[in-house]
Amino acid sequence: MSNIPSDLRYTKSHEWVRSAHGEAPNGAVEIGISEHAQSALGDLVFVEVPEVGRTLNAGEACAVVESVKAASDVYSPVSGKVIASNAALATQPELLNQDPYGAGWMFRVQTNSSIDDASLMSAADYANYLADEAK
């Protein structure tokens, strides 16, 4: 079973969303891809994150992760403005494989939407979703 931290919310396209920590202003969220997603992709060799200042709509393709074999889009789980992106991924894409919920975070968005929104899954719901997908 893959690691699914209980304090995060998840999308059907395997992004995770975290309410802002101390370093980000109120209403900001941090976004990355799940343990399951990085494992399915395999060794990542290229990551493109959205530019700071870009305005995103929920569901919009805004980042790309490429493994040796294939490229995949990453979709923003929320609407809002990009306030930070993880520059380290440009030179160390493997951070996403090694620590998808920590050093492998991708970008932060200032948003008005709540992460308790019905479109985002709890950890338990995401675990069920993965189990269903595997059937």
Partner 1 sequence: MGLKTALYDTHVLQGAKIVDFGGWEMPLHYGSQIEEHHAVRRNAGMFDVSHMGVIDLAGDRTCEFLKSLLANDVGRLKVPGKALYSCMLLPSGGVIDDLIVYFMSDTWFRVVVNAGTRDKDLAWIRRHAAAFDVTVALRHDLAMIAIQGPNARKKTMPLLAPAQRIAAGELAPFCAAAFDSWFIARTGYTGEDGFEVMLPAVDAAKTWNALCAQGIQPAGLGARDTLRLEAGMNLYGNDMDENHHPLESGLTWTVAFEPGDRDFIGRQALENLRRSAGHELVGLLLDDRGVLRSHQKVVMAGTAPLPTGEVTSGTFSPTLNRSIALARVPRTAASGVQVEIRGKLHAASIVKPPFVRHGKALIPV
* Binding region for partner 1 (CB under 8 A): 42-43, 45-46, 48, 64, 66, 68-69, 71, 90
Residues 6+ apart with CB under 8 A from 93: 44, 45, 46, 47, 65, 66
Place of tokens 């160390």: 92
- 8 or 44: CB nearest partner 1: 44
Residue closer to partner 1 by CB (options 46, 125) is: 46
As measured in angstroms, the least distance from the Cβ of 69 to partner 1 is: 6
Report the residue count for the chain: 135
Q: Please, which residues have CB within 8 angstroms of residue 100's CB and are 6 or more apart in sequence?
A: 16, 32, 33, 34, 35, 37, 38
- What is the nearest approach in angstroms of partner 1 to the Cβ of residue 110? 26
Q: Which is nearer to partner 1, 39 or 114 (CB)?
A: 39
